[in-house]
Structure 1
Amino acid sequence: MSMLTELPVWKQLQAQRQRMEDVHMRDLFDQDPGRFARFSLEFGDILFDFSKNRITEETLALLYRLARETGVAEAITAMFDGAPINHTEHRAALHIALRDQSGRAIKTEGHNVMPEVRAELKKIRDFSEAVRTRAWRGSTGQPITDVVSLGVGGSDLGPVMVTEALRPYALHDLRVHFVSNVDESHITDTLEALKPETTLFIVVSKSFTTQDTMVNAETARKWLLNGSEDMEIIRRHMVAVTSNIERAAECGIPEENVFGMWDWVGGRYSLWSAVGLSIAIAVGMDHFEAMLAGAHEMDEHFRSAPFEQNLPVTLAMLGIWYNNFFGTQAYAILPYDQHLHRLPAYLQQLEMESNGKRVDRDGKVVDYDTCPVIFGELGITGQHAFYQMLHQGTRMVPADFIAPIESYQCIQLHHRILMSNVFAQTEALMRGRTEAEARAELEAEGLSGEELEALLPYKIFPGNKPSNTLIYKTLTPATLGALIALYEHKVFVQGVVWNINSFDQWGVELGKQLAKTILPELDGDEEVTRHDSSTNGLINHYKKHRGRQS
């Protein structure tokens, strides 16, 4: 048994879980009219309602105690102090430095990183404003009308999500596109309607060797040059975000067109850096910095607020409660804000790449569950897709509902219908519909006898399905920054409790290594035999049936 599962507080939580087995949330609400007030927190214009959870004050007290006894407070201090908490790569995790507004020194290995951060932010401002004001011109003297960001994983998911979330703040005659997939359809479809003379590419790769990104970059380079050898074309139409300046230069990108990255920022935490150059170009540096400021405010709340008033800690520990004591295996992210339609995909990477681990910080295989499967969709779309399973399926799936009090362009009828669904869905998941209630409803519809009895089981909803609701005034850059930071810190807290490193990602390596081995085997017509029978069969079927260009 691990030290975690042997802690007295862990065993007390197991006992608490048994006591809660037959407790229904509708009864908890009926017995306590003040439940919402006691189980909700506010931060700025964000309201976090966690009253629709299968918890009591005793449950919460035990969860906060678990956080304390597993060293969450000490881990928070270590992260903000620049300690090498990413122990397998001997690095700090200082994404908080990228949005720091305090003016204090933030050090790692005795080196204050803030002067470099501020210099890079100024460089981002200068360049993004030059593109937005049309001062930056292409090689033929024409202004840039389209920006294409080439990246994958954290170099793509975060910037895509943010530019979509802040679309109302964007210049609509300056279009920003993203290409992440090595499938040629992604880049060819994107370039189909663009012109080389007015297109700028941002190549985002820390090492400048990421296969997917560099293949797309080479295709973009050939598209720009179109047979020419004039490197001025590359200088005016391609910039890089990387730590490998030499490799960028080999591709014709001069040093002045290179924006820096640091090894103390992981890809999935990097949108706050020059990786977010596409964001700054899309919405403007003032709005980009407002997002940084909102994230910084959440950082300060996270590092200073008592656990009982701490949004990230509370959100994290509720996830621990269901994941480790109820055995839930999935978690739903349900934004009721069209501009957040890419948030579930972003949080999939943030949570599953960070905490999808089976080995703890001591190199031992854990004997408890870590990260659940994260999935989600826009709430209204989800209602017509998978909410059936949430309400009447055999698995309990905790969910976060995320919604604005007002949208950027609020049309009253639309928005009230939207919000009525937010409130209705969380209430329905919590309360359900009893047999008596279902029977009364069917009788009111005129059914009786055998017809009623046959339909009755299908109309019963068990309820007691947990959810959190996050409501904010409107999706401003600052609010978005705070929401993203909230989830970043939630993930960190859970990693600390599970005693895993949330900042490495060794699990992505094996597939990449095997792909490099297989790639040359796809040349020629020779039969491949060195793999297992399934892999051999798939490769040989592909080679037999592919066309000449494949």
Structure 2
Amino acid sequence: MTLLSASAAWDNLQSLAKQLDSQHMRDLFAADNQRADKYSTEACGIFVDYSKNRINDAVMQGLFDLARQQNITQKRDAMFAGEIINFTEQRAVLHTALRNFSDKPVLVDGQDVMPEVNACQQKMKELVHKVHSGEHKGYTGKAITDVVAIGIGGSFLGPKIMSESLKPYWHKGIKVHFVANVDGCHIADVLAERDIETTLILMSSKSFTTQETLQNTLTAKDWFLKQGGTQQDIALHFMAVSSNIKAATEFGIAEENIFPMWDWVGGRYSLWSAIGLPIALALGYDNYQAMLKGAYAMDEHFTTAPLEQNLPVILGLLGVWYINFFGAQSHVLLPYYHYMRGFPAYIQQLDMESNGKSATATDELVDYATGPVIWGSEGTNGQHSFHQLIHQGQVPIPADFMLPLNVPNSADPHHAMLASNCFAQSQALMEGKTHEQALAELAGKGLSEDAAKVLATHKAMEGNKPSNTMLFDQLDPFTLGALVALYEHKVFVQGAIWDINSFDQWGVELGKVMGNQILDKLQDKAAHCEFDSSTNQLVERFRKAN
């Protein structure tokens, strides 16, 4: 057994889980008319009702005891202080420094990184102003109207999904298009509809060698040159976010149009850096900065609120409760707001790339699950498809419902209908429907007694399905920043509980290395393949087809 699974706090929670097996949330609500108020809290404009969870006071105390046993506050403070908590890569983890609006320095190896951060943000602000004002022009003297943002992973998901979520705040006159997949169909479709005289290509790759991103950028360069641009003109139409200045300048990008990246910012946390430049171009710099301020507000809450009122801590502990003590294998995110439809995919990378790990900080192999499958979709679409599994499936699937109380461009009854479905789904998951209730509904339907009993068996739902409901006045840039930071810190809390490194991604790296090895064989048909027999067979079939 690992230190965690053999600990007193872990044993206590196992006992509490067994005790709750025979209790239903319906009864917990009936026994305590203050339950909803007791298990709700609010921070940074985000209200969270977590009363529809299989918890009681003893469970919550047991979870907070686990957090203290695992030194959550000390680990949190070490991250904010710039200590080397990414221990396999010997790096600090300081995405929080990118949204630090205090006057406090942030030290890495004894050096304050805030002057660099502030200089980069000022450079971003100036570029956005020049593009939006028309001061930055293409090689024929026309203003920029379109930005093609090329990246992958965090360099793509963060900018794309945050921009989509804030569509009501888009700056008129600039359209931002995102490309990630190395499948040539996507880049071809995007470029086919652009005018080279008014298009800006923004490439995001820390190394300037990321296979998919580099190939898409080379394709964009070839398109630009074939459409009449010259190598010299590239300086006006191509920009990069990268730490490899040499490679970017050799490509033709002007050095003043290269924005920095730092080793202490992981890709899935990088939207707060110059990787977020597409967001700023789409929304305007003031709106982008409001996102940073929302995230900073959540940072302040996370670092100052007691554990018992700390939103990231509470949500992180509830996740541990279901994953490790109830056998949950996934967690579903259900935003009831069309513009947030991509949000589950962003949290999917954040959570699964961070906590899908198999070894602890003390080099033990874990003997407990370390992360759920994150998935989801916008409401109410999911109600007509996968909600069925959540309601009647036998593996628990905790859910997060999200709803802005006010939305643009939605006259009654649309938003009221949306909200009613959101609230009804969490209620139905909690209450379920007993066999007796289902049977009563069938009375007078012309069925025989035996047929009614059979059908009632299929219509009955156990309920007792856990969920959280998050409400906010509106999804403005500040609130979205706070919401993203809330999930970042939730993921941190769970990684700290499980004693794993939430900030490396060796599985991702393995795939990159092996992909490059196979690519060499696909491009050199004379090369001898020495992979396993299955991979050799697949490579050979591709060679013959191409």
Alignment partners' CA distance in 1, 2:50 and 2:362: 33
Alpha-carbon distance in structure 2 between the residues aligned to 1:348 and 1:256: 34
Does 2:159 match 1:195? no
CA distances 1:195-221 after superposition (whole Å, capped 9, x unpaired): 111110111000111011000111111
Do 2:334 and 2:401's aligned partners in 1 also have CA atoms closer than 8 Å?
yes
- What is the TM-score normalised by the length of structure 1? 0.97
Q: How far did 1:313 drift?
A: 0.2
Which residue does the alignment assign to 1:319? 319
Which residue does 2:233 correspond to in 1?
233
Which residue is equivalent to 1:211?
Answer: 211
Which position in structure 2 is the counterpart of 1:507?
A: 507
5+ residue gaps, structure 1, are none
Show the counterpart of 1:370.
Answer: 370
Deviation per CA, 1:396-430: give whole Å up to 9, x if none: 10111111111122312000000000100000000
CA distance in 2, matches of 1:453, 1:497: 46
Shift of 1:525: 5.0
Cα distance per residue 1:347-379 (max 9 Å; x no partner): 110000000000111222111110111111112
SS in 2 for 1:47: strand
1:163 is the counterpart of 2:136? no
Alignment of 1:53-64 (within 5 A): 53-64=53-64
Contact 1:224 1:233 in 2 (8 A): no
**Counterparts of 1:409 and 1:230, CA distance in 2:** 44
Aligned-partner residue type, residue 512 of structure 1: K
Deviation for aligned residue 1:544: 2.3
> Following the alignment from structure 1 to structure 2, what is the Cα–Cα distance between the partners of residues 124 and 520?
38
Off by >6 Å, runs of 4+ in structure 1: none
The 5-angstrom pairing of residues 348-387 of structure 1 reads 348-387=348-387
Letter in 2 for 1:224: F
2:18 corresponding residue in structure 1:
18
TM-aligned CA deviation for residue 529 of structure 1: 4.7
The corresponding residue for 1:535 is 535
Partner SS for 1:379: coil
Q: Which residue is 1:137 aligned to?
A: 137
After superposition, what is the alpha-carbon deviation per residue over 1:496-548, rounded to whole angstroms, capped at 9, x for unaligned? 111111111111122211111111221365596522221122222222233xx
Mapped contact 1:528–1:536 kept (Cα < 8 A):
no
CA distance in 2, matches of 1:376, 1:229: 43
CA distance in 1, matches of 2:190, 2:97: 34
Instruction: Give 1:449 shift.
Output: 2.5
**Aligned pair in 2 of structure 1 residues 112, 186: CA closer, same or farther (>3 Å)?**
same
Range with bigger deviation, 508-517 or 52-61: 508-517
Q: Secondary structure at the match of 1:375?
A: strand
**C-alpha distance in 2, partners of 1:191/1:231?**
18
Q: Deviations over 1:142-162 (max 9, x none)?
A: 111110001000100000111
How far apart in 2 are the matches of 1:197 and 1:229? Answer: 8
**Counterpart Cα distance in 2 of 1:256 and 1:525:** 42
Partner-residue secondary structure (3-state), 1:412: coil
Identify if the C-alpha distance between structure 1 residues 396 and 222 changes in structure 2 by more than 3 Å, giving closer, same or farther: same
Instruction: Give the conservation status (yes or no) of the 8 Å contact 2:390–2:397.
Output: yes
Partner of 2:111: 111
Percent identity over the alignment?
49
CA contact (8 A) 2:196 2:227 kept: no
Aligned to 1:449: 449
Residue 380 of structure 1, CA deviation: 1.2
Letter of the structure 2 residue corresponding to residue 222 of structure 1 = D
3-state DSSP of counterpart to 1:3: coil
Deviations 1:257-300 (A, max 9, x none): 10111111101001011000000000000000111011100000
| 8 Å CA contact 1:139, 1:232 repeated in 2 | no
In the alignment, the residues of structure 1 paired with residue 396 and residue 21 of structure 2 have an alpha-carbon distance, to the nearest angstrom, of: 13
Task: Tell me the residue number matched to 2:329.
Answer: 329
Which amino acid in the other structure matches residue 23 of structure 1? Q
8 Å CA contact 1:527, 1:540 repeated in 2: no
Alignment partners' CA distance in 2, 1:437 and 1:542 = 58
Q: Matched residue of 2:357: which SS?
A: coil
Secondary structure at 1:230's aligned position in 2? coil
> Residue in 2 aligned with 1:404?
404
When structure 1 is superposed on structure 2, of 120-129 and 170-179 the one drifting more is: 170-179
SS at match of 2:331: strand
**Residue 247 of structure 1: aligned partner:** 247
Q: Is the 2:2–2:364 Cα contact (8 Å) retained in structure 1?
A: no
Specify the alignment match of 1:86 in structure 2.
Answer: 86
Match of 2:274 in 1: 274
- 1:76 corresponds to: 76
Supply the distance in 1 between the matched residues of 2:61 and 2:253 (Cα, whole angstroms): 56
For the 8 Å contact 2:52–2:466, the answer to whether it is kept is: yes
Distance 1:36 1:385 in 2: 29
1:314-364 deviation line (CA, Å, top 9, x unaligned): 000000000111111111111111111111110110000000000111222
Tell me how many residue pairs correspond in the alignment: 546
Unaligned runs of 5+ in 2: none
TM-score in terms of structure 2 length: 0.98
Q: CA deviation at 1:227?
A: 7.3
Name the SS of the counterpart of 1:361 in structure 2. Answer: coil
